[in-house]
Amino acid sequence: MRRAGVLLHPTALPGSPVCGTFGTSAHQWLDLLADHGIKAWQLLPLAPPDSLGSPYSSPSSFALNGWLLDGEQLVVAGLLEQSDLDALPHGGDPGRLDLAGVDQRADLLAAALLQRFPQWNAALKERFATWRAQQSAWLVDHCRYWVLRRRFNAQPWWLWPQPLARRQRSALLALDREEQALLLQEALVQWQLQEQWQALLDHARQRGIQVIGDVPFYVAHDSADVWSHRRLFSAAADGSLSQQSGVPPDYFSATGQLWGTPVYRWPLHQLTRFRWWLRRLERQLSLVDLLRLDHFRALEAAWCVPGGDRTAEHGSWRPSPGGSLLRCLSRRYRGQHLPLIAEDLGVITPAVEALRDRYGLPGMKILQFAFDGDPENPYLPANYRGRNWCVYTGTHDNATCIGWWQQLSYEQRHRVERLVGPVQAPGWQLLELALASEADWAVVPLQDLLQLGDEARFNTPGTSEGNWQWRLSGGLEAIRGPLKGFGELAQRHQR
């Protein structure tokens, strides 16, 4: 069955003072999608973001973002009192995520949760204890890392005192004794995030909506993952990197892109039969129905740059055992179709395509990339081979379609209009092109449905300010009309 979907990260939902949450607005959003026959909701990673708000540079590959914890749901569940919520700050711009306010609000909400914990009944405490034990493989070190980051004023792990940076057993045991309350607090937050998200996921499935998640390929240098499993990454005990990630120079950048995250020590992952990777993927797949694997091409070969370099120019391609990793994952799925989407953008070789196709993974097509004048452009719908594609008008990293159209030259606009006719609503016209294609999925960012300009752009790669902060201002009812129009358009293109 072909599916049409909308890309919207939960932080952009309305209905809360500083940031969207897993609360009422998220459930209403699902109902709006279902009411209009829209069958997919795509998210960005649900992990905690970095200090700039990016969920692609997270301090944890397993945890959920504490910003998304909904206070009203905690009151309904009997875990907080209304007075706890009334004491929280309520300011903020409804159209922008408040990076300063959201951390403060999340900390206060977490502290209130810990304060009320002794009053919970025995059944609730037992449920929590069971969940905490089940998740211990990642939760223990995530909570330790979170507490230590607070203790040392957000300094990276390699600047902590050596016994803690190098994870000496006696130092970790002392931490567990000294910080029982804060360790418990973060575990409680993660439990309730899981409970609230699971309720959303159940709601989506009841309404026939497929939830599409996202997982970055690399993990942040300063993260619980690298601190607790340093030997699996190209990081020394002092935090220095022998190799770092990036992509080579190309038409867009003469020096390439230097991402600065550790690369994987693949021989050690192979020795452990990819235990860490499989736990990571299985954790993410437990949260969604389908998972987009970012930078898929690095599963075949990755651009590795010497650790001390300041540009990506002098890197080299190093082979990755992605085929072996996917084979191990496939065994756990007993040969069933892997619920992954390959983000196969960038320098894609026949070997990368062969790896994607060997496991039947859908690839991605971005219509904004289709109009360079090359009749063989792989993003032109006429050049799609087969139906196993997820086609987008644009993604979170692109300009909105109106912003994209405004930046095109006369020649580029002429190429677009030869395919879609006179352009009046570029997002909707690209969307119709996506729906008319052979692709099995057609996904549109909500900003394009609402015909918003680049003031609503979610992220501009290579920049560090103003990203990840757009929110839908006003109530959800205001978008019922565009969603209805999208659903009707999708129905006309169903086959």
Q: Tell me how far apart the alpha carbons of residues 320 and 267 are, in angstroms, rounded to a whole number.
A: 10
Nearest-angstrom CA–CA distance, 182 and 98: 25
Integer Cα distance of 47 and 41 in angstroms: 17
Selecting among 141, 214, 222, 294, the annotated active-site residue is 294
Is the separation of the CB atoms in 258 and 218 below 8 Å? no
Where b means 16+ CB within 10 Å and e means fewer, 284-318 reads bbebbbbbbbbbbbbbbbbbbbebebeebeebeee
Residue of 395, 394, 402 whose CA lies nearest to 368: 394
Q: Could you give the angle at the alpha carbon of 373 between the alpha carbons of 368 and 375, nearest 5°? A: 100
Is 397 known to be catalytic?
yes
Of 142, 140, 66, 147, residue with least CA distance to 110: 66
Closest CA to 279 of 163, 141, 73, 114: 141
Q: CA 395, CA 392: separation in Å to the nearest integer? A: 7
Out of 343, 344, 432, 448, which one is annotated catalytic? 343
Residue 292 forms beta bridges with which residues? 214, 341
Residue with tokens 């607005």: 25
What is the distance between the alpha carbons of residues 493 and 439, in angstroms, rounded to a whole number? Answer: 11
Q: What are phi and psi of 48, to 5 degrees?
A: -60, 140
Residues 429, 378: Cα–Cα separation, whole Å: 19
Q: How far is 144 from 228, CA to CA, in rounded Å?
A: 10
**For residue 80, is it left (φ>0), alpha (ψ between -120 and 50) or beta?**
beta
Cα distance between residue 471 and residue 448, in whole Å: 14
Q: How far apart are CA 162 and CA 272, in angstroms?
A: 27
d(CA 227, CA 449): 42
Helices (DSSP H) in 77-210: which residue ranges? 82-86, 99-116, 122-134, 136-151, 162-165, 169-178, 180-206
Dihedral angle, C-alpha 477, 483, 488, 491, nearest 10 °: -130
Residues recorded for the chain:
495
Catalytic residue among 397, 438, 440, 454: 397
User: Could you give the residue numbers annotated as active site?
Assistant: 294, 343, 397
